Chains A and B, each alone.
Chain A
């Protein structure tokens, strides 16, 4: 046995390279040849060429397993899309062949294998779909952008979960006081659309993909109440949206009034209460510990 073949890690690494390289696949499935005759442009060392030659000695099995790998990638990006129902609905009901689109996407990213990192996979696939002419109308474009923001939020929460999730907070019976300092929850983000996505968000698995939605700017709070929940959406008024943005840093209601310009203290407290109810902001001391 050749020395390199004894190194399981090396064999595995070469096989992973083969799986993701059209040039190496061509080499494996081509007519058998001596290891040192493999194409020089493949940049393989002698031990790696020996491994490649070993796989090439059984091209039928290699072909089957390479096909399984690439079909698996296609299947998995479609599974990832189940995390984002609006995009899933748009792809599966928009007259395209989802499997064909997914296969093209997988090839376009060099057969990258995100494995169980499904949010990363969904992020890349949604970004790819957003560039397709089929999704260039305002409503699909807005829906994809909204879910792209939700994906980014979920990935951020995966990397840095909050100390306290909104569902774990004790909601105080008393309304916010002027001196209480509030801050936006890291479990929420704001996104905007150029048309009214309400009908789609209310029926994400069954909405009419061809429907023309009412144009106009809308503000959407995307929020994750607990680690096991899917992202939830709520529409915010322009004033509440501005307040949420201003509360990226902790502020008392009086400070929020000043930041929002022209909003009374009573109105600021009302907005804060509404955002607290949604789990979008919390009192600073609650955000640290429930």
Chain B
């Protein structure tokens, strides 16, 4: 499967829709959150009412890639019953995305417990999860990348580090990785004292199977660092980006924001400040991409022959 090299883009997150001027941006790619546009699983529609019309404008302007949080991909329900099979797969085909990425959670039929349910990093689950991953990728018909999770505690029964688990899954399944660098950063802050290491993570996963990268921000409270996507991208994540870009060739770097007003320290920015902050992060991500691969390598700055 050939992966298009697109460049730097944003996630079309519901928190940004309606106010963020997507169509005025020079984005190389836009990541559609399937969960945000899919129709209810117990209704007749593929799209949430009105979502198809809202997508038309961006679909005409940007290449779209697909992302899924709540597909139930790795739960225990039959794959045919999952939101992934019943909504995300037809959405991916309808939107003609070149790849899809999903999250490594259980979350059968749930939109609420996924963030507390990282996969059990065990030998038995490598086999079960990889077999499901292969089957789901076959349904999509395009590369499927698994996103490393931010979690507050590993699933009881885990026998190996997350990176070893992911490496074994993609090797067995023939699937890919979607590397969320802020999740790595968050896990390092929350679990570093217990041996979590971003350096070891990046040395263990097959970097040549990374199809896309997520960047985001977060905040500390209640003695934990939270992956809230409500701040600018922190400096350690930029450093991780430079490192990973120098050693891999992903199809895109996607920035995630999930707030209408970003935090800057304890204060919240107003709408204009939030817009400026996102645009500044985008510019910095483009500079990092261009430094690694050259300015002409992005979709919007590429010189197409003829």
Contacts and interface: CB of A to CB of B under 8 A. Distances in A.
Interface of A: 1, 5-9, 11-12, 15-16, 19, 51, 54-55, 58, 60-62, 64-66, 68-70, 72-73, 76, 80, 83, 113-120, 154-155, 157-159, 161, 224, 227-230
6 contacts: A6-B124, A65-B115, A80-B40, A116-B40, A155-B43, A227-B44
Interface in B99-127: 106-113, 115-117, 119-120, 122, 124-125
A16 B77 CA distance: 14
A105 to B, nearest CB: 14
B50 interface: yes
B87 A116 contact: yes
A12 B157 CA distance: 11
Contact of B70 (A7, A12, A60, A116): A116
B114 to A, nearest CB: 9
B156 A51 contact: yes
A62 B153 CA distance: 8
A76 B112 contact: yes
A8 B125 contact: yes
B41 A116 contact: yes
Nearest to A162: B44
Contacts of A83: 40, 49
Contacts of A58: 153
Contacts of B83: 115-116
Contact of A118 (B42, B47, B112): B42
B157 A158 contact: no
A5 B156 contact: yes
Given A61-B152, A116-B41, 19 more contacts: A1-B159, A6-B122, A11-B156, A12-B120, A15-B116, A66-B116, A73-B112, A80-B40, A115-B70, A115-B83, A115-B109, A117-B41, A117-B42, A154-B43, A158-B42, A224-B44, A227-B44, A228-B39, A228-B47
A69 B122 contact: no
Contacts of A70: 112
A23 to B, nearest CB: 18
Q: What are the nearest 10 A-B pairs in CB distance? A: A72-B112, A65-B116, A118-B40, A230-B49, A61-B152, A5-B157, A227-B44, A54-B156, A115-B109, A116-B41
A72 B124 CA distance: 30
Query: For chain A, what secondary structure do more than half of its interface residues adopt (helix, strand, loop), or is it mixed?
Result: helix
A83 B40 CA distance: 10
A213 to B, nearest CB: 25
A168 to B, nearest CB: 13
B287 interface: no
B303 to A, nearest CB: 39
B38 interface: yes
Contacts of A62: 153
Interface residues of B, number: 46
Among the interface residues B45, B107, B157, B222, which one has the most CB atoms of the partner chain A within 10 A? B157
B111 A11 contact: no
B153 A61 contact: yes
Contacts of B120: 8, 11-12
Nearest to B87: A116
B162 to A, nearest CB: 15
B76 interface: yes
B155 interface: yes
B152 A64 contact: yes
Nearest to B47: A228
B46 interface: yes
B96 interface: no
Contact of A119 (B42, B70, B109, B156): B42
B279 interface: no
A250 to B, nearest CB: 23
B46 A64 contact: no
B160 interface: no
B223 interface: yes
Contacts of A7: 157
Most-contacted residue by chain A among B41, B109, B124 (CB, 10 A): B41
Contact of A12 (B117, B122, B152): B117
Contacts of B72: 115
A158 B40 contact: yes
Most buried by A among B38, B50, B70, B117: B117
A79 to B, nearest CB: 8
Given A65-B152, A116-B38, A228 B49 contact: yes
A269 to B, nearest CB: 31
Contact of B112 (A5, A51, A113): A113
Contacts of A117: 40-42, 109
B224 interface: yes
Interface string B74-94: 011000000100010000000
Contacts of A8: 119-120, 122, 124-125, 128, 155, 157
Contacts of B35: 116
A228 B52 contact: yes
